[in-house]
Amino acid sequence: MRLGSSRFMSGLPQEIFGYPVVAKLGTGAASELFAVQDPKTKQVWALKHVVRRTEKDDRFIAQVEIEHEVGSKLDHPNVRKVGKVHRVRKLFTTTEIGLCLHLIDADAMDNRRPETLLEAVEQFAQIARGMGHMHSKGYVHADMKPINVMVLEDRSIQIIDLGQACKIGSTKERIQGTPGYIAPEQAALDKITAATDIYNLGATMYFVLVGEIIPTVLPPGAAKPISASLLRMPQPPQEKKPEIPARLSRLIMDCIRVKPEDRVASMDLLASELDRIAAEVRGAMAQAGSRPGK
């Protein structure tokens, strides 16, 4: 049986776009992710595959196109690299698309939390630097959350899933973002800016450290967003977990201010402040280790 560019056997395709399939890695809303091997170079890639079955699939194909457009302009150790994109077209419609992505053998941050406070702060700084690189190229990620951060064996991170990324200053036709992490301007269909990513990352840091999602204008399970004027700030992280340094607690709260102009001014500044906090944590650890009886 043949479906577009794929040859199938026993439910698993033998090949997609000429790449032999090694394994199935996962399933998204309308996509499937496979490990495939380049027959020429023998390199193994992750291939995101979407087939258009109805008009509703057009937006998922568009997200893959965006991921390729944005990812091909980025080159940073903390952002997943993208490869070739392959398409099947009928007349003027893309009916099937596949995007090669760097294969990451890792768990997402929601399943592989940092083991220490220092590790958390260092990983947050890596995320900020990766997103700062995106901003320097003119793009916003627009969907930062723990599941979109992969934690490698050496505990370094890579940012994944650029399907909702957009140019800085874009406005979207429909609400995109994740309840519990979404910024007020995303739910209001206002301009998406670098400050949007700062809010999303602040919500991510809060969840990773505290274990709770923050109140957002679009809570999980809500049918529609509430007004930003009704949004309440969460308790500062240090009030929830006293071991969190006051400086880090304040920084996270400054990331999740309702108004974009009230948030931390840039990802570069956020990364630098996280680096300073990490240095303080290391100093405190060294001092504690040098005390008598330690």
The third-level CATH classification (topology) of the domain covering 2-102 is: Phosphorylase Kinase; domain 1 (3.30.200)
Rounded Cα distance, 113 and 120, in Å: 8
- Output the pLDDT for position 221: 86
What number is the average pLDDT over the span 32-58? Answer: 94
The chain-wide mean pLDDT, for the chain, equals 93
pLDDT band at residue 11 using 50, 70 and 90 as cut-offs:
low
Same fold, 2-102 and 107-286: no
Query: Does the structure show a pLDDT above 60 at 244?
Result: yes
Amino acid type, 275: D
Q: Which residues contact 192 (CB under 8 A, 6 or more apart)?
A: 140, 142, 166, 168, 169, 170, 171, 172, 185, 186
Tell whether the model's pLDDT for residue 162 goes beyond 80: yes
Burial class (CB in 10 A: 0-12, 13-18, 19+), 221: exposed
pLDDT at 288: 80
Q: Where are the domains of the chain?
A: 2-102, 107-286
pLDDT for the residue 194: 98
- Write down the pLDDT at residue 9: 45
Mean local confidence (pLDDT), 255-269: 97
Which is higher by pLDDT, 264 or 294? 264
pLDDT for the residue numbered 5? 53
In tens, the pLDDT along 172-215 reads: 999 999 999 999 999 999 999 999 999 999 999 999 999 999 99
What pLDDT does 4 receive? 43
Question: What mean pLDDT comes out for the span 243-251?
Answer: 97
Report the top-level CATH class of 107-286: mainly alpha
**142 SS3 class:** coil
Mean pLDDT of 276-290: 89
Provide the percentage of residues in the chain whose pLDDT is more than 90. Answer: 85
Q: Is this structure's pTM higher than 0.85?
A: yes
| H or E element at residue 2 | strand 2-3
Cβ-based neighbours of 134, under 8 Å, separated by 6 or more: 70, 74, 76, 79, 140, 141, 165, 197
Question: pLDDT above 70 covers what percent of the chain?
Answer: 95
pLDDT by residue (tens digit) across 69-127?
999 999 999 999 999 999 999 988 999 999 999 999 999 999 999 999 999 999 999 99
